[in-house]
Chain A
Amino acid sequence: MLPQIRTEFRKIATVRSPWLLLAAGPVIVVAGVTGLIQSGGNVHDPAVQSRALAHVGLAAVITLIFGVLAVAGEYRHGTITDTFLSFPGRGRVVAAKLAVYGFAGAAAGLVSSAVAIGTTAAWWAAKGATIQLSAQDTWLTLGGGVAANCAFAIIGVGLGALIRNVVGAVALALAWIAVIEGIAGQLVGSGLARWLPFYASQALDGSGIASATPLLPQWGGGLVLLGYAAAFAAAAVLVTLRRDVT
Chain B
Amino acid sequence: MAEIEVRGLRKTFGAVTAVRDMSFTASAGQVTGFLGPNGSGKTTTLRAALGLIWPTAGDVLIGGVPYRRLGRPRRRVGALLEATGFHPGRRARDHLRVLAAPDGLPDRRVDEVLDLAGLGESANRRVREFSLGMRQRLGLAAALLGDPQVLLLDEPANGLDPAGIAWLRGLLRALAGEGRTIVVASHVLSEVAQTADHVVIVNAGELRFSGPLRELGGSGALESAFLRLTAVPG
Contact = CB atoms under 8 A, between A and B. Distances in A.
Most interface-central of B44, B99, B103 (chain A CB within 10 A): B99
A246 B94 contact: no
A242 B52 CA distance: 9
B98 A11 contact: yes
Given A11-B98, A86-B99, A246 B53 contact: yes
B102 A4 contact: yes
Interface residues of A, number: 25
A7 B104 CA distance: 10
Q: How large is the interface on B (under 10, 10 to 19, 20 to 34, 35 or more residues)?
A: 35 or more
Interface in A1-50: 3-4, 6-7, 10-11, 14-17
B83 interface: yes
Most interface-central of A7, A16, A85, A245 (chain B CB within 10 A): A85
A16 B89 contact: yes
Contacts of B70: 88
Most interface-central of A3, A4, A17, A88 (chain B CB within 10 A): A88
Contacts, number: 82
Contacts of B50: 85
A4 B101 CA distance: 8
Interface stretch (A76-84, A131-139, A148-156, A220-228): A76-84
| B interface majority secondary structure | loop
A188 B99 CA distance: 49
A217 B55 CA distance: 50
B103 A3 contact: yes
B94 A84 contact: no
A85 B70 CA distance: 11
Nearest to B88: A77
Interface in B126-181: 142
Nearest to B95: A14
A3 B79 contact: no
B106 to A, nearest CB: 14
Pairs of residues from A and B, 5 with the lowest C-beta to C-beta distance, nearest first: A78-B85, A14-B94, A88-B68, A7-B101, A245-B52
